[in-house]
Amino acid sequence: MKGVFSAPGDYIYFKSQVPLHKIPIGSKHWRYYDFGPKAVPPLICLPGITGTADVHYKQIMSLSMKGYRVISVDIPRVWNHQEWIQAFEKFLDAIDVHHVHLYGTSLGGFLAQLFAQHRPRRVRSLVLSNTYTETSSFKAAMPWAPIVSWAPSFLLKRYVLTGIRGGPHEPFIADSVDFVVSQVETLSKDDLASRLTLTVDAASVGGLVLSDSLITVMDTSDYCAIPQQLKDQVSERYPGARRAYLKSGGDFPFLSRPDEVNLHLQLHLRRVGVEARPDLVQGLPKGGGGESSGEQDDESRDADDIAKADRTDSAGASTESGPPLLPESTESHDLDNQLLSNAKVLGASGEFQASILLLAFLISFLRHCTLTGINTGYLSAYWT
């Protein structure tokens, strides 16, 4: 995460080929990519706290080439889960999409489950990756949540980025971390504050009308910011769901292990009845997501990979179509509680602790000035 970030070549090509859409719907502003045949029911990708619509560019490039429609969105500025459900439904109405397949990671996976619970007629299937079913653990780890909207941008970014595991990484994982960090830099203070608020807003996923057979749980086994006990709760909640385990990939397997993730997504879509329409794809992009430029070779390889994955998927084994896999990290169990211990880890930093104390003092002082009629205009510089 150090040094100057240089955008990957395939991302630069993606940006040149796939248009970014920005539309206002009510008071919400949606930023999203929509690529692939419109006749195909879309797979909608929902990112985590640190993600944007751009983080799923490898899925868009790869799956659209095969005739699937992929939509990747930014989570808009919403401040509670009910507001999210209503805003997402209005977004679907605005883009004329009635039934969706949702792929959510971390916070995005939790929001996908909530939408499936409260709008069951619109959700046809779920792919859940490194996610959870309730927020009480995060709320307990973030005692300063009530003042999150007051916190300055640098403080929020620092808090969010400490959830990403530091230290040496496998090259593909290191590249994925660098890309996500670059995306965090594009998020505003309100973007970060709203996402953190959604993370700690008291809620849990209730019963889903959706059958477990229409759900795939895809987790990484090496390390992840989401504690293992929370990921286990997802598996326990959906005992009949398909399992897709990746031996490595870190927090962002959609970037670090795109071949494997894309294969599992393709397998899921085929299993739930989504028919790809490669005949409707025009101007296929080349070089996206590490795909071969030979269409016939791609189709033959995909058929072989899917056949292998189908034989191993129910047994919980990962596919062999992606880059070489590393053995499971011996540190994975020590890192399971990383996100939950953010407050403690950050509290150990004198500089950060001082920032928190300063923030609390300023808020207290601001309230005192307001009550006593003192002019507080000069304090505005602290909150910009």
* CA–CA distance, 136 with 305 (Å, rounded to integer): 40
Q: 23 is written with which tokens?
A: 């539309």
Q: How many CA atoms lie within 13 A of 169 on its CB side?
A: 22
Q: Which residues is 103 bridged to in the sheet?
A: 45, 127
**Is residue 326 very low, low, confident or very high in pLDDT (cuts 50, 70, 90)?**
very low
pLDDT of residue 170: 87
Q: Which of 113, 45, 102, 90 is nearest to 274 (CA)?
A: 102
Q: Is the pLDDT of residue 318 over 70?
A: no
- DSSP for 67-107, written as a single string: T--EEEE---S-SSHHHHHHHHHHHHHHTT--SEEEEEETH
- What average pLDDT does the chain have? 80
Q: Which of 165, 142, 223, 156 is nearest to 184 (CA)?
A: 156
pLDDT of residue 317: 38
Q: Is the pLDDT of residue 342 over 50?
A: no
pLDDT of residue 132: 97
Q: What are phi and psi of 290, to 5 degrees?
A: 75, 20
**Tens digits of residue pLDDT in 241-286:** 999 999 999 999 999 999 999 999 999 999 999 999 999 987 544 4
**pTM, to two decimals:** 0.77
**Is residue 209 very low, low, confident or very high in pLDDT (cuts 50, 70, 90)?**
very high
To the nearest whole percent, how much of the chain has pLDDT over 70? 72
- DSSP for 14-44, written as a single string: HHHHSPEEEEEETTEEEEEEEES-TTSPPEE
Residue 94 near residue 23 (C-beta atoms within 8 A): yes
Q: Is the pLDDT of residue 163 over 50?
A: yes
Q: Which of 240, 246, 243 is nearest to 259 (CA)?
A: 246
Q: Find all residues with CB under 8 Å of 178, minimum gap 6, and list them.
A: 1, 5
Residue 323 near residue 259 (C-beta atoms within 8 A): yes
Q: Which of 93, 103, 94 is nearest to 68 (CA)?
A: 103
pLDDT of residue 332: 35
Q: Is the pLDDT of residue 215 over 70?
A: yes
The answer to which of 26-35, 51-60, 105-114, 222-231 has the lowest mean pLDDT is 222-231
* CA–CA distance, 364 with 353 (Å, rounded to integer): 17
pLDDT of residue 359: 55
Q: Is the pLDDT of residue 368 over 50?
A: no
**Is residue 166 very low, low, confident or very high in pLDDT (cuts 50, 70, 90)?**
confident
Q: How far is CA 363 from CA 134, 248, 274, 370, 372, in A?
A: 30, 43, 52, 11, 14
Q: Is the pLDDT of residue 130 over 50?
A: yes
**Tens digits of residue pLDDT in 169-208:** 889 999 999 999 999 999 999 999 999 999 999 999 999 9
Sheet holding 20-25, edge to edge: 20-25, 28-35, 70-73, 43-46, 100-105, 123-129, 215-220, 242-246
* CA–CA distance, 72 with 280 (Å, rounded to integer): 20
